[in-house]
Structure 1
Amino acid sequence: MSILDMVREAGVIGAGGAGFPTHAKLASKAEYILLNGAECEPLLRVDQQLMRMFPDEIIKGFESAGKLVGANKALIGIKGKHKEVISILRNRIEELQVGDFIEVKEIPDIYPAGDEQVLVHELTGRVVPEMGIPISVGCVVVNAETALNIYHASMGVPVTEKYITVAGDIPKRLTVKVPVGTPVIDVLKLSGIENFDDYTVIDGGPMMGPVKSDVDGYVTKKNKGFVILKKDHPLIRKKSVSIEQAKRVNRSSCEQCRMCTDMCPRYLLGHSTQPHKMMRALNYALKNVEEQKIAQLCCQCNLCELFSCPAGLYPKSANLYFKGKLAEQNIKYKPMKSEFTTRKSREYRLVPSKRLIARLGLHDFDRPAPMTEVQVNPEEVHIATRQHVGAPAVPIVNVGDHVELGQQIGKIPEGSLSAAIHASISGTVVECGNDFIVIRRG
């Protein structure tokens, strides 16, 4: 079995949050393969620790991925502030004698350094075109944890566990490894909090992660972290505003200062996205659909809404509003050119992570979340059939079947973009539906 087939069978997906099936990405041919070790979302600590703990495995998985895509060069992008990790990686690259292929490149401590298109530019100087993906400029990007999972797949080990940071206004900040399908509440309680009545949970990083309506749910292969804050924290109040509420606020206060546009990471890369124009179209009920199409270029990094706007308005929500309207009409933006250059002002408008953290009101919580050996042994796991981009996995087990840890329980539908799923504990299948396969331990 080829490495690509092993990655496919192991159910490897983008572990950084996107969840794109890795076997489909590695079927491309590229000049560069890039390892995203930026982890630019505030408070999350998974990738930097994995690169320190498992450098050989990550390097070998990354090398395998690079060979699959036929890359001439493999570049690891990591923020320059992580001096220890950089030193470890460079030392292991030399010891493993792969320095002619793999190189560590330091990137600035900015947000969103981990955005694929920003990372591509920081590492290669290339700009991904509008509506494009990294392969458009000869690049394939994989996350650090994904590279680790590629290595495991090459050893015949499927993805059954997930590394997650638990951070925020909590007694105990930590990063843990838990079985896929673990109840989220079991992970949250590792924070030292038992009663969450006064708290709200952000699923993911504080910038792009959505606010959870409750503490229910189950860990998937896409989860990266949970940020727990008091319900009255300004960030929670801001992120809890509905699009309808945001529209009303925008109409009442926007003065068209265009700071949302001038600091937009995609605009600074040379793209046409201009959130201030979406604010204008919303506020004055403008009907020009052609101008509204640029809303589809928004990457939803949330910088405009949570940092750039001096009045604390909701430019991203305006973008989302028009994206939704255009999608309903099946109207799509078409780029007018294929090559892009960064705007001259870009180097002066990059947002340092420390300034962003202070603006979010998270300075007091920006502390280590050390990798911690914790036994999380749920009696039942709920393994989602759709925890990746594409079609849901098709169950290949039935209620009453006994399954072993690592056994495949859901396959890729014929001819579809999807990913396989595996049992994360040994036990008995007690439910098997279109959304979840539930396994009870023992």
Structure 2
Amino acid sequence: MNLLDMVKEAGIVGAGGAGFPTHVKLQAKAEYILLNGAECEPLLRVDQQLMALFPDEIIKGFEAAGKFVGASKALIGIKGKHKKVVAILRERVEALQVGDFVEVRELPDIYPAGDEQVLVYELTGRVVPEAGIPIQVGCVVMNSETALNVYYASIQQPVIQTYITVAGDVPKPFTIKVPVGTPIIDILKLSGIEDFDNCAVIDGGPMMGPMMSSLDGYVTKKSKGFVILKKDHYLVRKKSVSIELAKRVNRSACEQCRMCTDMCPRYLLGHEMQPHKMMRALNYALTDVEGQKIAQLCCQCNLCELFSCPAGLYPKFANIHFKGKLAEENIRYTPKKSDFIARKSREYRLLPSKRLIARLGLSPFDKPAPMTEAEVKPEVVYISTRQHVGAPAVPIVSVGDYVEAGQKIGKIPEGSLGATIHASISGNIVEIEKDFIAIRRDEYAKSNRNG
């Protein structure tokens, strides 16, 4: 098998949160391959630690992917503030004798440095077209954990584990490796909190992550972290606002100051994303569909809502409202040009991460979350068939089957975009539903048989 087949067989998807099947990305031919090690979401600590703990594996996986897509240069993007990690990566690039191909480049400590279009600009100076993807400017982007998984795929190891940071208002912030399908509550309890009645949990980073309505979920391949905060925290209250209340607040107070637009990362790259115009259209019930189309350029970084707006309004909601409305009518934005230049004001409007963290009320929780040796051994894992972009995986096992950790249990539907899934533990298949395959751990299965 070539690398593409190994990556496809291993079920690798984007580990940065998007979950796009990596084997599809590797089918492209690119001038650059970029490693997204920015990890710009406040409090999350996975990528920076993986690059320090597994530099050789990440570099080898990244190099292999870069060679496969025909790139002339492989650029690792990491924030310059991580001086020790930068030094480790540069030393290992030289030791592995790949310095003529792989280069470590430092990123500014801004939000959202990890947005792939911002990353492309910071590393190459190229602007991805509106409504476009990096390959349109000759770039393929992958996350550092994804590169690690590419290395493991090259030695026949599928994706059955993922790394999670648990942070926020907790006694013990930490990062941990867990089997895919682990109950989220089992991980959260390692933070030192037992009673979550007065807590709320954000699934992912504090900027883009949604509030969890229930703690009964399970980890997927694209899970990156959980932020625990008290229910009365500003961020929890902000993210918990209902759609109807957001509409009323927007209509009552928006003064069209343009701050949401002037600091929008995509607008600063030269795109026509202008949230203040979406607020205007929503508040005054404007019906110009052509003018609403720019809402589809929103990357949902949430900077407009959680930092830019001086009145604390909800511009991102306005964008999402029109994106949904246009999607229902199957209307798509069409760029009016193909070449884009970043706006001259961009360098003066970049948002330092520390300022963002302070604005979010997270400064007291901006602490290390060291990798822990603790082991989570769930009795039952629930492997989602929908933990990636595309069609759900089709089960190839039956209830009662015994499976080994790493065994394929779900395949990509014929002719569809998707990813394979594998057993993350050894044991018996105890349930198969439309959205998941449940596996009971081997020792529990044996004890039940003996009982």
Report the counterpart of residue 126 of structure 1 in structure 2.
Answer: 126
Q: Residue type of the partner of 2:124?
A: T
Gaps of 5+ in 1: none
* Other-structure match for 2:169: 169
Q: Paired residue for 2:405?
A: 405
1:237-256 correspondence to structure 2 within 5 Å: 237-256=237-256
4+ residue stretches of structure 1 with deviation over 2 A?
none
Show CA shifts across 1:145-188 (max 9, x none).
Answer: 00000000000000000100000000110000000000000011
Local SS of the residue matching 2:316: helix
Corresponding residue for 2:7? 7
| 2:65 counterpart letter in structure 1 | A
Q: Which residue of 1 aligns with 2:216?
A: 216
Between the aligned partners of 2:302 and 2:432, the Cα distance in structure 1 is 37
Rounded to whole Å, the distance in 1 between the matches of 2:135 and 2:190 is: 39
CA-based RMSD of the aligned residues comes to 0.5
Looking at structure 2, the residues matched to 280 and 438 of structure 1 have their Cα atoms a distance apart, in angstroms, of: 48
What are the residue-to-residue correspondences of 1:288-299 with 2, within 5 Å?
A: 288-299=288-299
| Map 1:194-273 → 2, pairs under 5 A | 194-273=194-273
User: What's the TM-score, normalizing by structure 1?
Assistant: 1.00
Q: Secondary structure at the match of 2:271?
A: coil
Q: Deviations over 1:287-326 (max 9, x none)?
A: 1111011001000000000000000000000101111111
- Alignment partner, residue 348 of structure 1: 348
Q: Are the equivalent residues in 2 in contact too, given 1:243–1:321 (CA < 8 A)?
A: no
Offset at residue 244 of structure 1 (A): 1.9
Aligned to 1:247, what secondary structure does the other structure show?
Answer: helix
TM-score when normalising by structure 2: 0.98
Helix, strand or coil: the match of 1:162?
A: strand
For 2:417 and 2:71, the matched residues in 1 are separated by 23
- Deviations 1:77-122 (Å, cap 9, x if unpaired)? 0000000000000000000000000000001000000000000000
Q: Secondary structure at the match of 1:345?
A: helix
Letter in 2 for 1:56: D
Which structure 2 segments of 5+ residues have no match?
443-451
Alpha-carbon distance, 1:433 to partner: 2.0
Aligned to 1:282: 282
* Paired residue secondary structure (1:434): coil
Q: How does 1:40-439 map to 2 (within 5 A)?
A: 40-439=40-439
- Paired with 1:354 and 1:129, the residues of 2 have a C-alpha distance of 29
Specify the code of the residue in structure 2 equivalent to 1:311.
Answer: A
* Partner AA of 1:138 in structure 2: G
Q: Give the superposition deviation at 1:375.
A: 1.2
1:242 offset after TM fit, Å? 2.0
How many equivalent pairs are there? 442
Partner Cα separation in structure 1 for residue 245 and residue 293 of structure 2 = 23
Shift of 1:275: 0.2
Provide Cα deviations, 1:250-288, integer angstroms capped at 9, x if missing partner.
Answer: 000000000000000000000001000011111111111
Query: Percent identity among equivalent residues?
Result: 79
Aligned partners of 1:207 and 1:301 also within 8 Å:
yes
1:189 positional shift: 0.5
Which residue does 2:449 correspond to in 1? none
Cα distance in 2 for partners of 1:241, 1:339 equals 38
